[in-house]
Amino acid sequence: MKTSIFTTLALCSLAVPLHAQNQEQDTTQGTKVVLDEVLVSAVRVTKESPVTFSNLEKEEIAPRNLGQDIPILMNFLPAVVTTSDAGAGIGYTGIRVRGSDATRVNVTINGIPYNDAESQGTFWVNMPDFASSTQSLQLQRGVGTSTNGAGAFGASLNLLTDAFSEEAYGQISSSFGSFNTLRNNIKFSTGLMYDHVELSGRLSRIISDGYIDRASSELDSYFLQGVYKDDNTLVKALLFGGHEITYQSWFGVDAQTLEENRTFNSAGQYTDENGQTRFYENEEDNYKQDHFQLHWNEQLNDNWNTNIAVHYTKGRGFFEQFREDDDFETYGFEPLVVNGEEVDTTDLIRRRWLDNDFYGTVFSANYQDENLQLILGGGYNIYKGDHFGEVIWARFANNSEYRDRYYDDTSTKTDLNLYSKAIYKLDDQWSLFGDLQYRTVGYEANGEDTGLVDDTFNFFNPKAGLTFDLNKNNNFYFSYARANREPNRNDYENGNPRPERLNDFELGWRYINPSVQLNTNVYYMRYKDQLVLTGELNDVGAPLRANVGDSYRLGLEVDARFSLGTKWFLQPNVALSSNKNIDFIFQRDGEIQNLGNTNIAYSPNVVAGNILGYMPHANWQFSLLSKYVSEQYMGNIDAEGSILEAYSQTDLNIQYTWQANSFIKSIVFSGLVNNIFDQDVVSNGFFFTFDDDFTNPGTVTTVEGAGFYPQAGINFLVGATLNF
């Protein structure tokens, strides 16, 4: 049933574009930034910085970009673990880096914060097919450098959208595959008109039934961009967004169901009047999100350039649920008499809405000369959210009107940050790095789940580091970074959460020559009051967190690329770590117990990946990609029932380019076979405990339970892209 770890490590590798073998070899001195990259220069780093990072370019993403979400396309980066609720990489997907979940991975798009300000999560389902409009991305592991939005506790991910094109082009892309998956998109660019102006855009539609029962997705998205440039000015206006309708698949399956019927989905289940089990057809999540960004970069002289951006995001939508025998009291209904009997429960259909606005500005001024790189920047952002619920149908109800709101909550969050960071070259070998950030956050909420919240947080986040270039091939770095982070909305459900603090130490070595590139680093991340995942979910499937006193993550990460002649390459990576809660306190069987050092939930000790690539001809590319994730706990008490077993997966990716000397310039054919060994992969789950004092009166017994999210067995996607 399972391939061995040895087989996995032998086969797995991160797909590196074969065209890279023909590019000029980079050195540890860094590379020159192209014009579009000035938009993200304030939040990205190069090899001159003492920061652990990985880059992924459009050409590397393209062979596997057949409709799956960005986290799935990042699956083979070091220390990354991904999962999919629907089991096939389309719909709701998630990412963890160094064991830290998506709420602690700071995501920016062209330097603009993307994480939901209130939940701190990243919902890629709201931007389907966004990889098709992504020029490049950079994943900084650990605290990284100061950026906009919430502070990073596991990683920072910055996306740069499509660069402007000097030449006009058109592109039509279509792909289909398992589970009735179909992706279509069109892209265009006018090229630079009058040497200064370009317009470009994309329209996409993705549909899929999903691997899990009824876990369907219907996803639409768009991307429009206008560019003005001259020798010293770059102005970009962007409008992009998406509309997702996904059948809910948030609740997983228990261990017995996993063995007997691994695709079972309990969402929408109810019993009709004849005692038959039914599933409500509209148990769906329906959400729209639109983004506007305006960027202005100005090159003032040979040393100074400035960036300023304004942005606005509008989100609105709901999820709909059939509820069986719900209490009247929840919805403010009065009891009523039916056939002589008092009724105080009813079947009903409800919608829970989120209507929010997020807007603000980010800015930076950049100075560079022979010895000094200096960035002064910051941002101010405001979030306003309305949370409300409606009953759109009820079997029994009293004193209610259509679309009455049974709850109506508001929340406001403000976020101001100012930072300065610099790299100063002491000589040809030694460089100093410094980064100071001040951040103040205000959060107000009045929900039944949160209670009345009116909190203000003030954080100071210093960072410092040292880089040593032994020669053009060897680069060493050491850094220290402090990060502070406020609780998210769900944290307030558990009481009065405390902000968390992290001290991150990174020590690394980079080696580069024409045939080998090697990056290795060790890290020690020490937390105070870390908000760790408890393993539990709330009533809408969102993971819950709780403060723990002291905890740490200690790890070694190695990634490399080997050119094996002119046709073969190998790119392995491995992350080894120990992730511990120190003297963890837990109430078991009615008694408070010190469990000693326990494993932090969702933190595997081994994560490995690799790609074996082969290019027999300039137009052909083959890649064999694999991933191994070791055993992990889904809770923090090291319970046997909370173990998520180790798993491995190997994918095969093929691409062929047919060059044409006609109206059609080329046709690119791509194929992806996921999980070619048909492994029983379970990449995520949940774990809960509760005190039972009913079964045995007079005694308290801690009861445990768990659920799992199975992923698809062998499945495929194939596609073609016509370039005009």
Residue 13 reports pLDDT greater than 90: no
474 Cβ contact list (under 8 Å, min separation 6): 28, 509, 510, 511
Confidence (pLDDT) at 151:
67
**b/e burial code for range 373-401 (CB count within 10 A of at least 16 → b):** bbbbbbbbbebbbebbbbbeebeebeebe
CATH architecture of structural domain 5-723: Beta Barrel (2.40)
Indicate the residue type of 238: L
Taking residues 488-510, what's their average pLDDT? 92
Question: Looking at beta carbons, which pairs linking 181-189 to residues 24 or more positions away fall under 8 Å?
Answer: 181/67, 181/88, 181/90, 181/206, 181/207, 181/208, 181/209, 181/717, 182/206, 182/207, 182/208, 183/66, 183/67, 183/129, 183/719, 185/129, 185/132, 187/132, 187/133, 189/164, 189/165
In this structure, of 170-179, 187-196, 394-403, the range with the lowest mean pLDDT score is 394-403
Confidence (pLDDT) at 657:
96
CA separation for the pair 687, 135 (Å, rounded): 38
**b/e burial code for range 74-98 (CB count within 10 A of at least 16 → b):** bbbbbbbbbbbbbbbbbbbbbbbbb
pLDDT tens digits, residue range 401-410?
777 899 999 9
CA separation for the pair 477, 14 (Å, rounded): 24
Find out whether 21 and 566 touch, Cβ atoms under 8 Å.
yes
Residue 129 reports pLDDT greater than 90: yes
Indicate the residue type of 138: Q
Taking residues 341-347, what's their average pLDDT? 92
693 or 59, which is more confident?
59
Confidence (pLDDT) at 34:
58
Find out whether 537 and 250 touch, Cβ atoms under 8 Å.
yes
Residue 399 reports pLDDT greater than 70: yes
Confidence (pLDDT) at 447:
85
Residue 178 reports pLDDT greater than 90: yes
Residue 6 reports pLDDT greater than 70: no
Task: Provide the sign of the torsion angle of the four alpha carbons 698, 636, 534, 263, taken in this order.
Answer: negative
**pTM above the 0.85 mark?**
yes
CA separation for the pair 127, 540 (Å, rounded): 21
Taking residues 5-18, what's their average pLDDT? 35
Find out whether 504 and 483 touch, Cβ atoms under 8 Å.
yes
pLDDT tens digits, residue range 263-277?
999 999 999 888 999
Confidence (pLDDT) at 19:
34
Confidence (pLDDT) at 542:
83
Residue 9 reports pLDDT greater than 90: no
Please state the domain extents for the chain.
5-723
Confidence (pLDDT) at 28:
36
DSSP 53: E
Mean pLDDT of the chain: 91
Residue 147 reports pLDDT greater than 90: no
pLDDT tens digits, residue range 202-226?
999 999 999 999 999 999 999 999 9
183 or 34, which is more confident?
183
Residue 4 reports pLDDT greater than 50: no
Residue 373 reports pLDDT greater than 60: yes
Cα–Cα distance list, 102 to 82, 122, 155, 602, 682 (Å): 10, 6, 9, 12, 18
**b/e burial code for range 111-138 (CB count within 10 A of at least 16 → b):** bbbbbbbbbbbbbbbbbbbbbbbbbbbb
* pLDDT interval class at 700 (50, 70, 90): confident
